[in-house]
Structure 1
Amino acid sequence: MDEDLDSLSRDELIAEIRRLRAGIREHRDSSGHDLCWHHPALWGLLPEKSDPRPEVPDWPQFLRGCIRYRQSLDRQLPDAPRTNRPFPPDDADR
């Protein structure tokens, strides 16, 4: 699957590593409501091009998953800063 790397020079490999690290950092540094989004830009860093169509849970199951995710943040990051900023309406069509 990663045979494309075999033909890259050292400089090309370093450039690829930097590109991938930048994408990972962008995802890692997301915060607030940005944690909840579908992230095709991150997957777009891979060389294989695909347009995955995720299976989307119905609303009740989806909301239960959101609650469990938020609960996991409480357990894993109990001292993380909290915010009460509302969800921005202009983010509706990310």
Structure 2
Amino acid sequence: MDDDLEAMDRAGLIAEVRKLRAGIREHRDSTGHDLCWHHPALWGLLPEKTDPAIAVPPWEKFMRGCIRYRASLDAQAPGAPTHDKDYND
């Protein structure tokens, strides 16, 4: 799957690492409502181009997952500031 790396020279490998790091940082630095979104741009950094076949839970189960995710942030980042804005603000 990563055979393309074997053919890259040092400069190409450094460029690839920088591109991947930039994508990871963009994802890592998401905050507020951006934490909840589908991130195909991050997956697009991989050399294999696929159309991810995602499965979407029904609304009730999806919302329970959102609540659990938000609760996990309270446990994992208890000192994080509150982003008290609606989605469109």
TM-score, scaled relative to structure 2? 0.97
> Is the aligned partner of 1:38 residue 2:38?
yes
Equivalent residue letter for 2:64: R
Deviation at 1:53, TM superposition (A): 2.4
- The equivalent of 1:70 in structure 2 is 70
Give the superposition deviation at 1:21. Answer: 0.3
1:22 is paired with a residue whose SS is: helix
**TM-score, length of structure 1 as denominator length:** 0.92
Structure 1 residue ranges (4+ consecutive) displaced by more than 4 angstroms after TM superposition: none
Q: Number of paired residues?
A: 89
**1:28, distance to aligned residue in structure 2 (A):** 0.4
User: Partner letter of residue 22 of structure 2?
Assistant: A
Deviation track 1:44-85 (CA, whole Å, cap 9, x = no partner) reads 000000011210000000000000000000000000001211
Q: Please give the root-mean-square deviation of Cα atoms over the aligned residues, in Å.
A: 0.9
Partner of 1:51: 51
Instruction: Give aligned-pair identity as a percent.
Output: 66
Gaps of 5+ in 2: none
